[in-house]
A and B are shown apart, each in its own frame.
Chain A
Amino acid sequence: DTGVSQDPRHKITKRGQNVTFRCDPISEHNRLYWYRQTLGQGPEFLTYFQNEAQLEKSRLLSDRFSAERPKGSFSTLEIQRTEQGDSAMYLCASSLTSGRDEQFFGPGTRLTVL
């Protein structure tokens, strides 16, 4: 079992550009989450998928953000027209809907918007 993976690990972009991040969850996990973490803060929930269905989006997720999970496997998070305030660590987590539903996190993608 390889755990949750994220790609890229680091992304530097200019303001106004679009970026896309990928998350590959643990293979049998049906739940997938995206969180955003700014420096010195705890992660904040962005959105959640159960299989391929996106069931909740935080109000933090403006219309410039879109997430998909086609076929209920990997997920992508796209940010359009990036702003400097989007600079953060974007964390992906996955879990299995049973028991304590513990979330396993990936290493994160650190985004820097210049």
Chain B
Amino acid sequence: AQKITQTQPGMFVQEKEAVTLDCTYDTSDPSYGLFWYKQPSSGEMIFLIYQGSYDQQNATEGRYSLNFQKARKSANLVISASQLGDSAMYFCAMRELHGSSNTGKLIFGQGTTLQVKP
């Protein structure tokens, strides 16, 4: 069964420093997509970055990069040069691309709360 595990309930980082948020996943499907979303206190889920299982290079989107290690089934999010506005809940999610139903539904982890200190 699909599963996403985020083992860090909370993280602190100093402003302007880099931080890594951990995510491991489990799936038997060879084709899948991995997503990271940010959820500020306002509640809206904001898409950050996507990695496909067949992508050869790690995804990058501005200050966000995804450290994808397929053999270890990990997809850690790296935020460089942290800003106060990065304080939020971060969710890792997975979608199987060729599952039995192929609905595109996302399976989310428990989330990591990130606090950026000035």
Contact = CB atoms under 8 A, between A and B. Distances in A.
Q: State which size class the interface on A falls in.
A: 20 to 34
A107 interface: yes
Contacts of A55: 101, 103
Contacts of B107: 45
B45 to A, nearest CB: 4
A30 to B, nearest CB: 11
Given A42-B109, A100-B33, A95 B104 contact: yes
Contacts of B95: 101
Interface in B47-80: 47, 50, 52
Most buried by A among B35, B44, B45, B111: B45
Interface of B: 4, 33, 35, 37, 42-47, 50, 52, 91, 93, 95, 101, 103-111
